């Protein structure tokens, strides 16, 4: 039986999960960047701009590259 927009229940479940990740991951990353202290103040601004304009790619880049740029 097909429900919403002709999708099955399992497809709809994955659609909702993927949509949530696309929305929440950049938001959570922005919060982490804003609360972090970086070695150089301009790094914070660069990461915020990257996350806002590149959404998932910017968030992924921050988790792989940007977390190493923070103060210890």
Q: Is 6 domain-assigned? A: no
Domain that holds residue 62: 24-72
Q: Is 7 domain-assigned? A: no
Chain centroid offset of residue 57 CA: 8
pTM, rounded to two decimals = 0.74
Domain count across the chain: 1
How far, CA to CA in Å, does 37 sit from each of 13, 21, 41, 50? 37, 25, 8, 17
Q: What is the pLDDT of residues 12-63, one digit of tens each?
A: 788 888 888 888 999 999 999 999 888 888 999 999 999 999 988 999 999 9
């Amino acid at each position: 039986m097909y429900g919403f927009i002709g999708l099955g229940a399992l497809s709809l479940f994955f659609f909702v999960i993927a949509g949530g990740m696309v929305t929440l991951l950049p938001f959570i990353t922005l919060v982490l960047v804003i609360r972090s202290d970086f070695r150089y103040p301009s790094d914070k601004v660069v990461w915020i701009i990257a996350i806002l304009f590149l959404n998932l790619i910017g968030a992924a880049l921050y988790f792989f590259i940007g977390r190493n740029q923070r103060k210890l």
